[in-house]
Amino acid sequence: MPEKKTLERAKKDLREGKGPSTAAGEFVREEMHHIREGKHGAQSTKQAIAIGLSKARRAGVPLEPPGEGQASESTRESAERAYEIGQDEREPRAASPKRARATLKALKREGSAAASKPALSRQAKRSARQRQGTSRSPKAAARRGAATRVRTGIASEAARKAARTRMGRRGPATKSRTAKKAERTRQG
């Protein structure tokens, strides 16, 4: 069961218009904390991320299951079940205490290296390499950010803030020229 704070952070992300993968990231973060705290371990960073994503789907984050060819058949089926449970399209099965104990015992036997900073860095780089180069570029990231700001209706507010930031970074001579130009624009 995810912690209350994690659920609240994920819901806040979704309210702000951020994507489901951003909201699901809160659950992955929680999972990494659990491993670091020693609650349990994980075989690999990929497994730790998968546990977090599954928790997110079951908690109602509208994160679509992976498509065909993106993951193994069993992983896809598991993700689909978790997604359906989270979207109230399927009743969750009664938890088997024996299976839950066995799963936790198996995870406790694993180490905590999967949640280390170098391991997370390696996983992020490996994942980024598999994505298309264009989706990783700073320009693409800026475009996605702009789309989010437009979607949430804070685009003009963000533009004003950016203009203020630029003004703050300029020298006094440039500031006065820009201020005069703005004044002429307002008068004309």
Using the predicted structure, report yes or no on whether residue 172 has a pLDDT greater than 90. Answer: no
Say what the pLDDT of residue 175 is.
67
Using the predicted structure, report yes or no on whether residue 128 has a pLDDT greater than 90. Answer: no
DSSP one-letter code for 171:
-
DSSP one-letter code for 94:
P
* End-to-end Cα separation, the chain, in angstroms: 61
List 71's β-bridge partners, or say none: 68
Residue range 178-187, pLDDT digits in tens = 777 777 777 7
pLDDT above 90 covers what percent of the chain? 60
Q: What angle do CA 7, 150, 169 make, to 5 degrees?
A: 100
Entry pTM: 0.75
Mean pLDDT of 8-36: 95
Say what the pLDDT of residue 188 is.
62
Residue 31's identity, in one-letter code, is E
Residue range 87-114, pLDDT digits in tens = 999 999 888 999 999 999 999 999 999 9
Using the predicted structure, report yes or no on whether residue 177 has a pLDDT greater than 80. Answer: no
Using the predicted structure, report yes or no on whether residue 27 has a pLDDT greater than 80. Answer: yes
3 state DSSP class of 116: coil
DSSP one-letter code for 68:
B
Residue burial 143-174, b: 16+ Cβ < 10 Å; e: rest: eeeeebbeeeeeeeeeeeeeeeeeeeeeeeee
Mean pLDDT of 109-122: 96
- Using a 10 angstrom Cβ sphere, with 0-12 exposed, 13-18 middle and 19 or more buried, the burial of residue 4 is exposed
Which parts of the chain fold into alpha helices (H)? 4-15, 20-37, 45-59, 73-86, 97-109, 117-130, 133-136, 138-152, 155-169, 172-187
Say what the pLDDT of residue 108 is.
96
User: What is the residue extent of each domain of the chain?
Assistant: 4-91+113-140, 154-187
3 state DSSP class of 2: coil
